[in-house]
Structure formats: C-alpha cells, structure tokens
Amino acid sequence: MRLKFTTTKFVLNLKERQQKRVKIFGVKRQCAFIWPTWWVFSYILRLLGREATSFPGYVALKIDPLFLQRALRRYQKVIVVTGTNGKTTVANLLARILRAAGLKVVHNQEGANLPAGLASTLISQKGDWALLEVDEGTLKTLARFYPSIDMVLITNLARDQTDRYPELSGLAEEIKDSLDNPQTRFILNGDDPYPAWIGQHKPLVRFFGLEGEGTEEGISPLPFLRSPPALHPPPL
C-alpha cells in the first residue's frame, strides 16, 4: 500500500505559521529549538567545507520569523555599523577595541551582514554586547524588528548595487525614517552629504571627518570628531 502525502494543510501564510508555532511550542520552547537546529546544520555544512555563515540563520528565520527581535533583547548594548564602503574594516576595529577593554562582544566578523548572516552570528556566539555590521539596505529591516538600537555608525552612502537599492536620496530617507528612536546615538561621516543630512534630524549625533589644512604630503589630519556640518536640504 502506498502512502499519499499531501502538503495542502501546511500551506499557511507567514503570520499563521508563526501563530501555529507559538501555540504548539510556546515562545521559549520555540526559541530553544533553534540552537540545536543551528548546531546540526553548521556541523553538516562544515563537513562539506562550507563556512556556515548564513544558511543556519536562514533556517532560524524560517522557524521563527521574529528571531532577530527576540535574540537582540538579550544584549546590554546593540551597536550597528553600516555604509557603502569601509563598514567591515570599521566594525572589525571596533570589535578589537571593545574586546581589549574586557567586553564580551558578539560580532559578525566574516561580513555576513544580511538578515540570515546576522541571525547566524547571534546563534553561534555568546556575549554581552552585539556589534553588527549591517548592509545599508538591510538596516531598515533590522530597525523594524529591533527599534532600540543603542548606536549607529554610518561610514558613507554611495551609489552601489542599483538593482537592489533605490536612489541615494531615497535610501538616506529610508534610513532616517526607520531609525526613529530618540535614544539611539549616531556617529556619522560629516563630510558625506547623505549621513550628514540624516544627522540633522537626530537629537544624539556626533560627526567625524576631515578637517584642517593639508600637510606637505597632501594629507589632511583626521580627528575623530568634527564640528557639525552646515545645514542643507536633502541631497538629490
């Protein structure tokens, strides 16, 4: 006798699936189920010679679409580094500085900065602070799941991957509108018009950039903090 397997009753939308899981497993049991699942997938991928930086997180988000929201609540501080260029280098430098200061930092040093990569990092590491390199187009998604980000550092915003992102003015406006928590601190590139414009609408902001006269070698000094840039309308 052949058994006929149908999946019709399992075809539910995302909200219904989430409610069904919570009803059956409960939130705590559902979240606890993710860690052994991650371990199994990571072990299999490493046997195959893969780094397992994103796929376990992809599975976790399928099991629990609100996993990022639940996981980020565990940390004392959540710091986000984003931008078109330099975010990996800056995030790695900050992670070394914080760890040298004795802090236990969770950090996606491999550069997996999309939601699945962030989820894999939060599953695989333990610490008190989360320092996350986040793709600039993903930042609004992360802010929607976890609006209580403590600090955001934006290196710059430049035209890149035009098939994925809107025009720069639209991307800057999306970032400004999504990060609307008045308690979030911003460290922004004051020499880039787009982060500078974002900072003009935030109460807790510091700017960095080039200041001063050029030297004989043609290199300007680079202080960490600079004076706020002049007010200007949003860039086109």
- Tokens 């720069």 appear where? 168
Q: Choose among 198, 92, 80: nearest CA to 147.
A: 80
| Inter-CA distances, 4 with 7, 8, 10, 12, 205, Å | 10, 12, 15, 20, 61
Burial class (CB in 10 A: 0-12, 13-18, 19+), 95: buried
- Tokens 């399928």 appear where? 62
Predicted pLDDT at 162: 61
Q: Does domain 67-208 have CATH number 3.40.50.1000?
A: no
Residue range 98-136, pLDDT digits in tens: 999 999 999 998 888 999 999 989 988 889 999 999 999
Q: Which residues contact 128 (CB under 8 A, 6 or more apart)?
A: 75, 76, 77, 103, 104, 105
Alpha-carbon distance of 207 to 215, in angstroms, equals 22
Alpha-carbon distance of 191 to 210, in angstroms, equals 7
| Contact (Cβ atoms closer than 8 angstroms) between residue 120 and residue 112 | yes
Q: What is the mean pLDDT of residues 55-73?
A: 85
Alpha-carbon distance of 27 to 4, in angstroms, equals 32
Query: What's the mean per-residue pLDDT of the chain?
Result: 75
Predicted pLDDT at 207: 87
Q: What is the mean pLDDT of residues 59-65?
A: 84
- Structure tokens given for 59: 């599975």
Q: What is the mean pLDDT of residues 201-227?
A: 63
Alpha-carbon distance of 94 to 87, in angstroms, equals 10
